[in-house]
Chains A and B, each alone.
Chain A
Amino acid sequence: MNRKVTKVLGLAMAAAMTVMTGCGNSAPAAVSDTTDNSTDNAVVSEASADQGETRKIGVLVADVSGEEALGFRNYYEKYIQNNYNVTFDYTDALASAEDEKAAIEKFASKGYDAVISLSSSDRAQQIETCEEYGIYYAVASGVLDESQYETYKTYEHFVGQVGPSNETEFEAGKEMGKYFKDKGVKSVAIYGAFIPNPMHVYRAAGVIAGLGDTYGGTDDMNGMIGQIFQDQGVDLTKVSGDVEVVAYLQGYGDTTTDELNAAIQKAPEAFISVGMATTFFAQTLSQENIPFSDIDSFTAMNSESMKNGSLEYLAGKYSSSIGPVFALVMDAINGNVIRDPEGNAVSFTQGYLVATDAESFDKYYVNDNGDTPIFDKASLDGIIGQDVTYDDVKALIESK
């Protein structure tokens, strides 16, 4: 008898969940004065036109511990939040496309106005979900694949993207490789970070090209990246050229300790990283006095590695480089959705700045630090407003 009661209760609870889920709205949304009651697609952002209202922006993040990610977060939460009537809500580290979609749906149910994406498991799905729920969406790190951009550039709630293109990533890697080749380095170790992450694939291909080497017999960008995707890493047997790549490793820092030690044993003259080495390996490489390079951000920790460690080359972005995306999103929330001359979502490419010594590093770091970021309130105010145009935003981004 009791077992039956148990089963019935269990089923009843599960049924209650499903029935409640299937029912209509049982509570008012935080911002729910929309008249569209045909679907769940609460047009949360369009309902809040009052300029004095605190805007709520959700931020999708996959990396929560990297130097660049921390710099970005610091800028939004400490600088932007203090200077504008806006709150940012960061997700935990999103591991998959399902996590990203659930996070956007949660932002929608909380009545958020917009979503800024620093996560790239499935950007197409992110855009479609935001469109479905009527939330403005922008990409703040990297850009969409060209075919994806073509597909989604006319979506009403897709505000745009500001970040390095895949070609820019390749060039950043190439410049880094060329730097060491020009120095006369004859052997290097390469850290591929999170390949097959596309950004890291492009950078790694660029590094090999910059070293003057070929991969699988080619130094053409598309030829190289196709093979690296297929190999899911850099296959050292395919690398040939004057500069020898004596070791290659990829993956999270704590899972590559043995490989790092093995790479160090091969005595490379330089350690070239396409991302995250400053977070994972800075201390070890500095202790071993191996010159290393990375593509990251101008942060305090990297400044320390450049001054007192062996970090020799850093291609980075300002932590405030995500300022223009915030401005575009604020404009959209306030009713001024900025479009490019063809009427599509805007797409701006940002390049990398390179520091090769403490002096040049400080120039970028100090200029973009704390209360005086490169994209400060004064400059952002110039592109936040009802009369702001595409050309205004373009001019500001290109000026920095």
Chain B
Amino acid sequence: MNIKKIINRQNIIALLPMAALAVLFLVFCTVVNAKGYRLDMYLKIVFNEALVLAIVATGATFIYTLGTFDISLGASTLFSATLGVMVYNRTENIALMMAVILLTGIVCSLLNSVLASIFHIPAFVTTVAMMSVLSAVSAQIITVNGGALGGISIPSSVVKPFDNMPFKIATLLLFFAVSVFVFEFTKAGRRMKFVGGNPLCAYLTGIKADKYTILAFVMAGIGIGLGAFLTLVYTPSVTTTTASSIGMNIFIAIVFGGMPISGGARSRIYAALVGGFSYMLLNDILEIVIDSSAAYGITQVISAVFFLIVVYITGMNYKTALLPR
């Protein structure tokens, strides 16, 4: 196979996640219409379901680009939201609440990166430990303060002004634009890909991986903070199960979006956005088409099969002897 053919095939495969999103979107609209459901409402639901996932996952893409992953993202989101609620309930200051949420997200993420960079513990190991710690501390705060209600909350009127599509879309686009800029148009973004693709080569070139690890985790922390705030905007209460599914869904979303698990030069900043929406659309299509009473978990089984197919197809891109271009 000549180089031109390989490049063409790579380009086609690179387009597949977008094509899949387009197909899923059309199938979703068709299914919802065929069932006679409200398409506008259902689209809003999908958007709300995918929003937090897409934002946190977009931040996490920086970590994945370095060839590692963070399993504590869900717990960090829960912890940020928990502290945010506690701060609001004590101060009734929405601006302070937002600042605390954002800062907590960044600090949680930075702590992971510092442990990984300074003590040279693999990042996925530190994040596993962090997940346990943050979940336990959050649960303690929630149960002690929530008591018989089972959770803590702020008045829904506090976040009501933010619970609208323009704000949510603007937040998503703004964070995405910043991420694209850092990822694609700065030296830092390029070096992250280099470190993820070949750490030894990057080191020999004089690139300090630790510096970019910290930057990647800061970007992820901003995503966590925004995700935690938007979680509160959607449901202004926090229970021990808040954001519990985010950690694993991020991994699925990023892979669905065509991002190589190994990170490196083929990492794509849009993978989380495309994958997040694709994953939610797929879940909702299956939920509508398959009667839930038929068998619990059948949608998860089908999603898993799709996941394996996507990994196989996108993996075809990495099996060539051709260097990324």
Within 8 A of B (CB), among A13-56: 13-14, 16-18, 20-30, 32, 40, 42
Chain A residues with Cβ below 8 Å from B139 are: 196, 232
Considering the chains assembled together, what is the distance between the CA atoms of A128 and B237 in angstroms? 12
Nearest 7 pairs between A and B by C-beta? Answer: A109-B41, A27-B39, A10-B270, A96-B241, A109-B38, A30-B36, A196-B143
Main secondary structure of the interface of A (DSSP, over half): helix
Asked if B93 is at the interface of the complex by the 8 Å CB criterion, the answer is: no
B59 to chain A: closest CB distance in Å?
A: 16
Chain A residues with Cβ below 8 Å from B270 are: 6-7, 10-11, 14
Asked if A340 is at the interface of the complex by the 8 Å CB criterion, the answer is: no
Contact across chains for A22 and B166 when beta carbons are under 8 A apart? yes
Given contacts A7-B270, A13-B21, A90-B292, contact A23 B151 (CB under 8 A): no
Contact across chains for B37 and A30 when beta carbons are under 8 A apart? yes
Contact across chains for B18 and A23 when beta carbons are under 8 A apart? no
Asked if A230 is at the interface of the complex by the 8 Å CB criterion, the answer is: yes
Asked if A122 is at the interface of the complex by the 8 Å CB criterion, the answer is: yes
Chain B residues with Cβ below 8 Å from A100 are: 235
Chain A residues with Cβ below 8 Å from B146 are: 229
Asked if B201 is at the interface of the complex by the 8 Å CB criterion, the answer is: no
Chain A residues with Cβ below 8 Å from B156 are: 125, 128
Contact across chains for B244 and A96 when beta carbons are under 8 A apart? yes
Contact across chains for B292 and A91 when beta carbons are under 8 A apart? yes
Given A6-B268, A22-B169, output 19 extra A-B contacts at Cβ < 8 Å: A6-B15, A10-B18, A10-B273, A13-B22, A17-B43, A17-B46, A21-B46, A27-B37, A28-B36, A42-B38, A42-B41, A96-B245, A97-B238, A98-B242, A108-B38, A122-B150, A198-B147, A229-B143, A232-B139
Considering the chains assembled together, what is the distance between the CA atoms of A24 and B41 in angstroms? 9
Asked if A236 is at the interface of the complex by the 8 Å CB criterion, the answer is: no
Within 8 A of B (CB), among A193-222: 196-198, 201-202
Considering the chains assembled together, what is the distance between the CA atoms of A400 and B238 in angstroms? 38
Chain B minimum-CB-distance residue to A12 = B18
Chain A minimum-CB-distance residue to B164 = A22
Within 8 A of A (CB), among B18-75: 18, 21-22, 25, 32-33, 35-50
Considering the chains assembled together, what is the distance between the CA atoms of A85 and B289 in angstroms? 23
Within 8 A of B (CB), among A140-186: 145, 148, 166
Q: Can you give 8 contacting A-B residue pairs, CB < 8 Å?
A: A42-B38, A90-B293, A91-B292, A97-B242, A106-B45, A121-B150, A122-B237, A128-B156
Asked if A242 is at the interface of the complex by the 8 Å CB criterion, the answer is: no
Considering the chains assembled together, what is the distance between the CA atoms of A110 and B235 in angstroms? 21
Looking at A32, A91, A96, A111, the one whose CB has the most chain B CB atoms below 10 A away is A96
Within 8 A of A (CB), among B168-218: 169, 172-173, 176
Contact across chains for A101 and B277 when beta carbons are under 8 A apart? no
Contact across chains for B237 and A105 when beta carbons are under 8 A apart? no
Asked if A301 is at the interface of the complex by the 8 Å CB criterion, the answer is: no
B303 to chain A: closest CB distance in Å?
A: 12
Q: How large is the interface on A (under 10, 10 to 19, 20 to 34, 35 or more residues)?
A: 35 or more
Chain B residues with Cβ below 8 Å from A201 are: 148
Chain B residues with Cβ below 8 Å from A145 are: 148-149
Contact across chains for A13 and B237 when beta carbons are under 8 A apart? no
Chain B residues with Cβ below 8 Å from A77 are: 293
Contact across chains for A10 and B17 when beta carbons are under 8 A apart? yes
Asked if A89 is at the interface of the complex by the 8 Å CB criterion, the answer is: yes
Contact of A40 among B18, B40, B243 (CB under 8 A): B40
Contact across chains for A26 and B40 when beta carbons are under 8 A apart? yes
Chain B residues with Cβ below 8 Å from A20 are: 43
A231 to chain B: closest CB distance in Å?
A: 9
Contact across chains for B14 and A122 when beta carbons are under 8 A apart? no
Contact across chains for A13 and B25 when beta carbons are under 8 A apart? yes
Chain B residues with Cβ below 8 Å from A300 are: none
Considering the chains assembled together, what is the distance between the CA atoms of A42 and B45 in angstroms? 14
Contact across chains for B18 and A122 when beta carbons are under 8 A apart? no
Chain B residues with Cβ below 8 Å from A105 are: 41, 44-45, 48
Contact across chains for B39 and A25 when beta carbons are under 8 A apart? yes
Contact across chains for B11 and A2 when beta carbons are under 8 A apart? yes
Considering the chains assembled together, what is the distance between the CA atoms of A3 and B15 in angstroms? 9
B255 to chain A: closest CB distance in Å?
A: 15
Contact of B38 among A14, A27, A226 (CB under 8 A): A27
Asked if A262 is at the interface of the complex by the 8 Å CB criterion, the answer is: no
Asked if B320 is at the interface of the complex by the 8 Å CB criterion, the answer is: no
Chain A, residues 79-114, CB within 8 Å of chain B (1/0): the string is 000000000011111011110111001101111000
Contact across chains for B41 and A40 when beta carbons are under 8 A apart? yes
Chain A residues with Cβ below 8 Å from B166 are: 22
Chain A residues with Cβ below 8 Å from B18 are: 6, 9-10, 13
Contact across chains for A29 and B36 when beta carbons are under 8 A apart? yes
Contact across chains for B244 and A14 when beta carbons are under 8 A apart? no
Asked if A225 is at the interface of the complex by the 8 Å CB criterion, the answer is: yes
Asked if A396 is at the interface of the complex by the 8 Å CB criterion, the answer is: no
Chain B residues with Cβ below 8 Å from A101 are: 234-235
Contact across chains for A14 and B277 when beta carbons are under 8 A apart? yes
Considering the chains assembled together, what is the distance between the CA atoms of A25 and B33 in angstroms? 11
Chain B, residues 235-260, CB within 8 Å of chain A (1/0): the string is 11111111111000000000000000
Given contacts A95-B245, A124-B153, A229-B143, contact A16 B37 (CB under 8 A): no
Looking at B18, B243, B273, B299, the one whose CB has the most chain A CB atoms below 10 A away is B18
Contact of A14 among B44, B241, B274 (CB under 8 A): B274
Chain A residues with Cβ below 8 Å from B242 are: 96-98
Chain B residues with Cβ below 8 Å from A128 are: 156
Chain B, residues 289-325, CB within 8 Å of chain A (1/0): the string is 0001100110100000000000000000000000000
Chain A residues with Cβ below 8 Å from B173 are: 18
Considering the chains assembled together, what is the distance between the CA atoms of A162 and B71 in angstroms? 41
Chain B residues with Cβ below 8 Å from A124 are: 153, 237
Given contacts A111-B37, A145-B149, A232-B139, contact A18 B14 (CB under 8 A): no
Considering the chains assembled together, what is the distance between the CA atoms of A198 and B172 in angstroms? 36
Asked if B132 is at the interface of the complex by the 8 Å CB criterion, the answer is: no
Contact across chains for B47 and A18 when beta carbons are under 8 A apart? yes
